[in-house]
Amino acid sequence: MKLQQLRYIVEIVNQNLNITEAAEALYTSQPGISKQVRLLESELGINIFERNGKHIKGLTPAGEKITQIARELLVKVQSIRAVAEEQTRPNRGVLRIATPNTQARYVLPAVIEKFKAKYPNVSLHLHQGSPTQIYEALMNGTVDLAITTEAQYLFEETILLPCYTWNRSVIVKPEHPLAQFANHSTDLTVEELSKYDLITYTFGFTGQSDLDKAFNQVGILPNIVFTATDADVIKTYVRLGLGVGIMASMAHTEADSDLIAIDASHLFSPSMTQIAFKRSTFLRNYMYDFIQYFSPHLTKMEVEKAEQLKDPHAILRLFENMPLEEK
């Protein structure tokens, strides 16, 4: 059994069972991957993949277990390299982060500017996506750290650290009837909001979004006409007059002077942004620093405490008495 063979198996799964794409990702040949997978199956005496002729159609039950173990081994191998690099090249390396678009656009620029000032020789790579894509990128080893604001239940097998809370604003054009609530003594209500077409984030990752909950409490079905993962896209379609936007308050900036933001924190429960990494990951010092730049209360000492805890609820309890920043 060779480490490279395990890497081939994992990459085939990462590429949705497409050997050609796995070969391209690993800069090797498709016949070479196929041969090595067959050799490993022959050595083990079992099939890792289910096949339809020459085409792979899935993992066998044993193959699923082997792939899971192979992922863990590859992470440990990477950790061994990271330990060595921490000694030989402490201020050089790579940091790969998966993040939602809103965090990448409105929170991370200041963090990255500070990080690059201290670590100019660390190559930084951002991967943007939905909560599910972010989770998959973390678990398949594409990234080192994952920033998530939804679907935290996906990350129960990781170290998941609370960073800050945020809420939403309703976004309209100045001439819209709801604009009056921006400087009105009466708060905007769900009933009033329900009269209009709504444009908001893609949701449903946890089965029910905070927007769903707010409308369900008063027995109203919201009329969602458009969803997007990017706040800038939401603002674009509000400007086109296609509906009323509901997005993170942090995404309304001075550059959006042509749009009115109405505080909606009384309508929706606050959301929490968290940062995650796999339990088997060796965090280099610059990774600890990035985490603290992103969320100042997450010092290296506090993160190391969290790494010792097995229960995700215990990790949350570790930080429950720390006031989280609101954004």
119/309 Cα distance (integer angstroms): 29
Q: Say which residues have a Cβ less than 8 Å from residue 59's Cβ, sequence separation at least 6.
A: 13, 48, 49, 50, 67
Token representation of residue 21: 């794409």
Token pair listed for 114: 């500070």
Which has the closest alpha carbon to 159: 138, 140, 141, 142?
A: 138
Its sign, for the CA torsion 131, 133, 138, 143, is negative
Q: Which domains does the chain have, with CATH numbers?
A: 3-72 (1.10.10.10), 90-165+271-326 (3.40.190.10), 168-263 (3.40.190.10)
Q: What is the pLDDT along the chain (327 residues), one digit of tens a residue?
A: 888 888 899 889 988 888 888 888 888 998 889 889 998 888 999 899 998 887 888 999 999 999 988 888 887 888 788 777 777 787 889 999 999 988 999 999 999 999 999 999 999 999 998 888 898 889 888 899 999 987 677 787 899 999 999 989 999 999 999 998 887 757 899 999 999 999 998 764 434 467 778 888 888 888 889 888 889 999 999 999 999 999 999 999 999 999 999 999 889 888 889 999 998 888 999 999 999 999 999 999 999 999 888 787 788 888 887 778 888
The helix-helix angle for 61-88 and 3-14 (nearest 10°) equals: 110
Question: pLDDT by residue (tens digit) across 63-82?
Answer: 999 998 888 888 788 878 87
* The model's pTM: 0.78
Strand order through the sheet with 122-128: 122-128, 93-99, 145-148, 271-278, 158-166, 325-326
Give the list of residues 6+ apart from residue 293 with CB closer than 8 angstroms, or none. 111, 114, 115
Distances (CA, A) of 154 to 136, 150, 151, 157, 165: 9, 9, 6, 8, 19
User: What are the tens digits of pLDDT across the range 70-117?
Assistant: 888 887 888 788 777 777 787 889 999 999 988 999 999 999 999 999
Per-residue buried b or exposed e for 1-30, using 16+ beta carbons within 10 Å of the residue's own CB: eeeebbbbbbbbbbbebbbeebbeebebee
